[in-house]
Structures are given as structure tokens and as C-alpha cells.
């Protein structure tokens, strides 16, 4: 077999794999959109291209008095926004300390972060539940936000620290010679140069409350505090008799804030993901 033919076969194989992955990812999305535009109520009667496209399900979510979808959306946006801002702020400061300073227990602290990445947050959910109950944070957004922020802290700190380690320390020394303090070095030098990886952390932590069902299921009890994942589950489970077309419309709308944040941060995200993979 000639080298040219072998190369063409390898390229064809790569394109075939990419095509299969693209179909596997895209097909469920197109099917969900199709169901949401179907005027019926069952996903089994829906076609890939409905005979009569309808936006009535999207309208119903926000206009029908029986629907709390708007409230769930607002709750999720509040939790996601505060979680993202809090996570980026806390992670950047902790990563800065581990990256730039030597102190007793630093090495063991890094090892602890590495070990904690091996265990899912769900392993400690019983302890977390009891702790939140002790401090009266059950059924509150504050308790939910704390779980999201602290649960993702080990992995995020490890990523950001690895990125900050690649930033030359000569910049710190030059700033110190000009009279800059620790906070100035952190805010004027490290933070701007770490924007790509912080954008990645911000996006992933923003996405978590939209995607997570189990954590709010355990923590939140009041219907007026439901997030989208929890609300949509109850929406088809016991409230409206498995109306999957309206459920599909509700899930499609979840993508809007995530896509908005992604587009806003895309300039930093691409370099952050690439550099984080090589610099972490």
C-alpha cells in the first residue's frame, strides 16, 4: 500500500469518526427541538420535522398561570451568577497563594487538592446535608451556592494554579521593585494574564446549576426556590402528566444563558482550554 493511499485512508477514517460523533451529539438536540415545536403532547407522536410547527409550548411556559417556569428560570440565573462570580473570585485567590508563596503545608495542601479530585461530592452529601442543617442553610440559595463553589474548588484551584505557575515570576519582582504590594501584583498582573483559564472556570461553574438535579433535590424543599432542573423534573413527574413537548421546550431554553455566556467569553475560552490542558 502506497504512502499516499495510506494517508488518504487515515484521513477518511478520522473524518468518519468525527461525522459519527457529530451525528450522535446533534441528533438528540434536533429531536428535542422537534418535540418542542410539535403541537401535540407526546414525544412518541412527534416527527423530526413536524407538520405544523408551533411555538405554543414556549408561550405556555411563561404565560400559563399553572406554570412556574419563569420563577425557576430566575432562581437558576441567580444561583448560577452568584456561583460563577464567587467561584472565580475564591479560586483565583487560593490559586495565587499556592502558586506564588511558599509556606508550611503548601505541598500537602496541593496533594490534598489532588486527592479530593478523585472523590465525587456526592460521597459527602450526607455530611453536607447534616452540616447545612446545623447552620440553618437547608432550603436556601446560600447553602446551594456554597456546595457548588466549594465542591468545585479542588479541581478549579489545581487548574488555575497550573496556569499561574507558567506566568514568569520576573513580572512579580519588577512590580515589587516599583513598590507594588501583594494585592497589586495579584489584581494588576496575575488576574489579567489568567483571564483565559478563569473564563473556563467561570463558564463551567455557571453551567453547573442549570445541569445539576441531585444537589437541589437534596437541599431545596420549597417549590418557590426550585431551580430549572428540579422544577422541570417535577413538571413532568407529578404536575402535568408527562407532557414531554412542554418539557422539551423548557430544556431547550436552558441553552440560552449558557450560550450567551459562552459567546461573551469565547475569546478567552479557546486559549484557556488549550493552555489549561498543556500548562496544568
Instruction: Output the nine-digit C-alpha cell for 56.
Output: 405554543
Better-scored residue on pLDDT, 11 or 160: 160
Domains, the chain, ranges and CATH?
66-279 (1.10.3720.10)
Better-scored residue on pLDDT, 203 or 106: 203
Residue whose C-alpha is closest to residue 84's, from 203, 179, 240: 203
Region 178-198: mean pLDDT is: 89
Region 46-62: mean pLDDT is: 77
Region 83-110: mean pLDDT is: 90
> In angstroms, how far is the first alpha carbon of the chain from the final one?
41
Confidence (pTM): 0.84
CA R_g for the chain: 23
Confidence at residue 278, expressed as pLDDT on a 0 to 100 scale: 44
Confidence at residue 42, expressed as pLDDT on a 0 to 100 scale: 59
Report the chain's mean pLDDT, rounded to a whole number.
84
pLDDT digits (tens, 9 = 90+) for 234-265: 777 765 556 778 888 888 999 889 888 888 88
Angstrom distance (rounded) from CA 12 to CA 18: 10
Lowest mean pLDDT segment, chosen from 46-50, 98-102, 113-117, 262-266: 46-50
Confidence at residue 3, expressed as pLDDT on a 0 to 100 scale: 67
Confidence at residue 77, expressed as pLDDT on a 0 to 100 scale: 96
Residue whose C-alpha is closest to residue 194's, from 137, 257, 275: 275
Amino acid at each position: 500500500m502506497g504512502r499516499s493511499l495510506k494517508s488518504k485512508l487515515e484521513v477518511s477514517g478520522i473524518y468518519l469518526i468525527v461525522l459519527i460523533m457529530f451525528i450522535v451529539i446533534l441528533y438528540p438536540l434536533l429531536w428535542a427541538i422537534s418535540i418542542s415545536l410539535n403541537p401535540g403532547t407526546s414525544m412518541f407522536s412527534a416527527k423530526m420535522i413536524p407538520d405544523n410547527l408551533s411555538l405554543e409550548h414556549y408561550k405556555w411556559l411563561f404565560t400559563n398561570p399553572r406554570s412556574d417556569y419563569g420563577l425557576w428560570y430566575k432562581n437558576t440565573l441567580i444561583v448560577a451568577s452568584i456561583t460563577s462570580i464567587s467561584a472565580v473570585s475564591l479560586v483565583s485567590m487560593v490559586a495565587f497563594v499556592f502558586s506564588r508563596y511558599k509556606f508550611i503545608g503548601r505541598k500537602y495542601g496541593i496533594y490534598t487538592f489532588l486527592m479530593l479530585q478523585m472523590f465525587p461530592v456526592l460521597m459527602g452529601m450526607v455530611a453536607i446535608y447534616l452540616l447545612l442543617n446545623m447552620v440553618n442553610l437547608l432550603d436556601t440559595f446560600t447553602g446551594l451556592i456554597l456546595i457548588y463553589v466549594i465542591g468545585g474548588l479542588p479541581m478549579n484551584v489545581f487548574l488555575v494554579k497550573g496556569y499561574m505557575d507558567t506566568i514568569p515570576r520576573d513580572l512579580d519582582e519588577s512590580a515589587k521593585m516599583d513598590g507594588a504590594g501583594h494585592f497589586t501584583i495579584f489584581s494588576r498582573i496575575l488576574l489579567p494574564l489568567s483571564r483565559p483559564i478563569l473564563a473556563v472556570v467561570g463558564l463551567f461553574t455557571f453551567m453547573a446549576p442549570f445541569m445539576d438535579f441531585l444537589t437541589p433535590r437534596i437541599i431545596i424543599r420549597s417549590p418557590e426556590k426550585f431551580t430549572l432542573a428540579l422544577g422541570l423534573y417535577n413538571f413532568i413527574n407529578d404536575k402535568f402528566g408527562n407532557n414531554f413537548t412542554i418539557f422539551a421546550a423548557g430544556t431547550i431554553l436552558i441553552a440560552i444563558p449558557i450560550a450567551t455566556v459562552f459567546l461573551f467569553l469565547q475569546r478567552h475560552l479557546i486559549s484557556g482550554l488549550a493552555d489549561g490542558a498543556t500548562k496544568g
